[in-house]
Structure 1
Amino acid sequence: MTHPSGGLPRDRFRSRLAAGPILVDGGMGTLLFSRGVPQRACLEELVASHPAMVGAAHREYLEAGAELIETLTLGANRERLKAWGLEARVGQLNRRAAQLAREAREVSGRDALIGGSVGPLGPPTAGLPLISEPVARATFREQIEGLLEGGVDIIVLETFSALEQLVLAVDEARRASDLPLIASLTFGEEIVLADGSSPRGAAEALAAAGADAVGVNCGAGPAACIDALEAMGRSADGDPARSIMPNAGLSQRLEGRFVYAASAEYFGTVTPRMLAAGARIVGGCCGTTPDHIAAMRAELDLLDKTDRGLPRAIAASKA
């Protein structure tokens, strides 16, 4: 992969996907919480106050084999930063987050993409905030411009439970740049969005909006995310690729901390099922660690020895 100024051209992104699956990093917030960051801290501010901690986490994911690492900016938009009185620092935090990820890539010496993470304008469970479309567009644009100034290669719009808001974000990102866009939704166990949209209908709407990849992340764990991905339907030639980045299962609170049940080994064994469901971009979300990504890397490398993994992945899913 190359990193020309201005990010990665969309045609090169498609060519890279055609060559084989891309492995994304895992959870950042839950990883940092496990290392002593207070549960009520503003994670996005850590890029300014604790850059060494954030950079170390990025490097661990790169060493685990991730080919795409995401900036610590899921909630780095004006609406969500208001809770900490940080709304005036949107541009600064997004630029710094992108710079930290790029520095980690340079130090590691690994060939990886930097994905600018953009989340919904409110917590994922809150649905669509009651703000006007012009304000929502301006809010997304402000964050995306900060990430672009910081030098990201692609934009990752993720953890959206409201299709209307994600379509808006995709459209605004497409207006801001011609970088590749990954658009990812969060489904419950019912495999339907909060607004009643089906996975297939959502995928079609996001494709029409200009996404280069469409998929699922977060949620109830790998099995539920795979079900949602299958319900989206496999991508045909010319359609957006499919992506999947599940949580390590549902979280449980134990001694003041949130813990996740799905082990690194399980993520490795379920990787073939992700590919068989049509995913070309795979990774983890909340509760996953560099160990989870390393297990997925090992499985992908093993699958790669058999015709890019696809026949073996399909066979494994039917075993």
Structure 2
Amino acid sequence: MSDLLSELLATRDVLLADGATGTNLFAMGLEAGEAPELWNTAEPKKILALYQFAVDAGSDLFLTNTFGGTAARLKLHSADKRVRELNRVGAELGREVADKAERKVVVAGSVGPTGEIMEPVGSLSHSLAVEMFHEQADGLKEGGADVLWLETISAPEEYRAAAKAFALTGLPWCGTMSFDTAGRTMMGVTSSALAQLVESLDPPPLAYGANCGTGASDLLRTVLGFTAQGTGRPIIAKGNAGIPKYVEGHIHYDGTPALMAEYAVMARDCGAKIIGGCCGTKPEHLRSMRDALDSRPRGEAPSLERIQAEIGPFSSASDGTGEDPNAARRERGRRRRG
């Protein structure tokens, strides 16, 4: 299988990823608490439409509807015996959309956290985590995914387990963490720590970075933290479309297409090579991001003051790299992407 993502990274200045999964599926009728992965077989036309949204908006890659596709996640919906099937079909649907596109588009097999806490803090062993990630990754590979895409991870132990599983599968991979606790992940990982972690893995990811978290401003600050490490490895920025607000019984993200266009350009200037959106990011946001990246010249890395002035205030004073005893608080929950 050809490594399409490496080819595009080598030949394009910047790549546009996709937007939210959950936000767009909820708009199609997904109910709260329902497993999106079940729609791969129950509502395939809607999943095809989800993928097509990204391609039509100009994305160079999109993630499959398999974020919660491990046995640990699917067990909550009595579907843990369907891991291979649901992941395979999610990738097959993506393959169908990508193969008919008029340009090269990467199908990235989405792999989210297990939702369990790993040893020594929790009970999930490294070997069992590897087994679960391997099962999911094999299904994505069978369905035709070009690359495996780990996202919204908080613990380094889980990141390592997924990397081991992906190595067994033989597909190239990318991996992001969610920096949502004063510049750190919920398990205390800093941007510099992740940059160092990825270089210790064999094989390392093709690209790494941050997704979800709090607002786009915080994510840009994290990207600057990655860039400061100077590893040269491509960086991923996949920020939320603004800040979530509860409006008339629903979660609404206040980021406009214009704001996300500014975010995309700033992410590129901060050093990101793959830029997309996470929660709240709809096709209209992606179209504005595509237009901005194509029409506006590359500039200098923005200052923190400029990021705050144009994108919005940071959620915390700390970027996570200093001594902050409260930054590493441990929480059991994991948010579902999008």
The question of whether the paired residues in 2 share the 8 Å contact of 1:66 and 1:112 is answered with: yes
The CA deviation at 1:294 is 0.5
For residue 72 of structure 1, what is the amino acid of its counterpart? Answer: N
Residue 34 of structure 1 pairs with residue 23 of structure 2: no
Residue 114 of structure 1 pairs with residue 144 of structure 2: no
The question of whether the paired residues in 2 share the 8 Å contact of 1:13 and 1:180 is answered with: no
Pairing 1:184-263 to 2, within 5 Å after superposition: 184-209=176-201, 210-234=204-228, 236=230, 239-263=232-256
For residues 82 and 22 of structure 1, the distance between their equivalents in structure 2, rounded to whole angstroms, comes to 35
The question of whether the paired residues in 1 share the 8 Å contact of 2:211 and 2:278 is answered with: yes
2:10 paired residue number: 15
Q: Write the deviation string for residues 196-233 of structure 1: whole angstroms up to 9, x where unpaired.
A: 22210111112221112110000112101011111223
1:3 paired residue number: none
For residues 302 and 40 of structure 2, the distance between their equivalents in structure 1, rounded to whole angstroms, comes to 43
The runs of 5 or more residues in structure 2 that have no matched partner are 311-338
Structure 1 residue ranges, 4+ long, deviating more than 6 angstroms after superposition = 315-319
The question of whether the paired residues in 1 share the 8 Å contact of 2:192 and 2:229 is answered with: no
SS for the counterpart of 1:25 is coil
1:315 and 1:183, CA in 2 relative to 1: closer, same or farther beyond 3 A? Answer: closer
1:70 and 1:201, CA in 2 relative to 1: closer, same or farther beyond 3 A? Answer: same
CA RMSD of aligned residues (A): 2.3
For residues 56 and 208 of structure 2, the distance between their equivalents in structure 1, rounded to whole angstroms, comes to 26
Q: With structure 2 as the length reference, what TM-score do the two structures score? A: 0.83
1:180 paired residue number: 172
The runs of 5 or more residues in structure 1 that have no matched partner are 1-5, 304-308
The question of whether the paired residues in 1 share the 8 Å contact of 2:4 and 2:106 is answered with: no
For residues 223 and 92 of structure 2, the distance between their equivalents in structure 1, rounded to whole angstroms, comes to 32
Residue 44 of structure 1 pairs with residue 37 of structure 2: yes
Identity of aligned residues (%): 29
For residues 313 and 115 of structure 1, the distance between their equivalents in structure 2, rounded to whole angstroms, comes to 30
For residue 23 of structure 2, what is the amino acid of its counterpart? Answer: T
For residues 78 and 298 of structure 1, the distance between their equivalents in structure 2, rounded to whole angstroms, comes to 39
The CA deviation at 1:7 is 4.2
1:192 and 1:257, CA in 2 relative to 1: closer, same or farther beyond 3 A? Answer: same
Pairing 1:52-63 to 2, within 5 Å after superposition: 52-63=45-56
Pairing 1:100-111 to 2, within 5 Å after superposition: 100-111=93-104
For residue 167 of structure 2, what is the amino acid of its counterpart? Answer: R
For residues 155 and 117 of structure 1, the distance between their equivalents in structure 2, rounded to whole angstroms, comes to 6
The question of whether the paired residues in 2 share the 8 Å contact of 1:7 and 1:154 is answered with: no
SS for the counterpart of 1:147 is helix
The question of whether the paired residues in 1 share the 8 Å contact of 2:28 and 2:46 is answered with: no
For residue 62 of structure 2, what is the amino acid of its counterpart? Answer: I
The CA deviation at 1:250 is 2.8
Q: With structure 1 as the length reference, what TM-score do the two structures score? A: 0.88
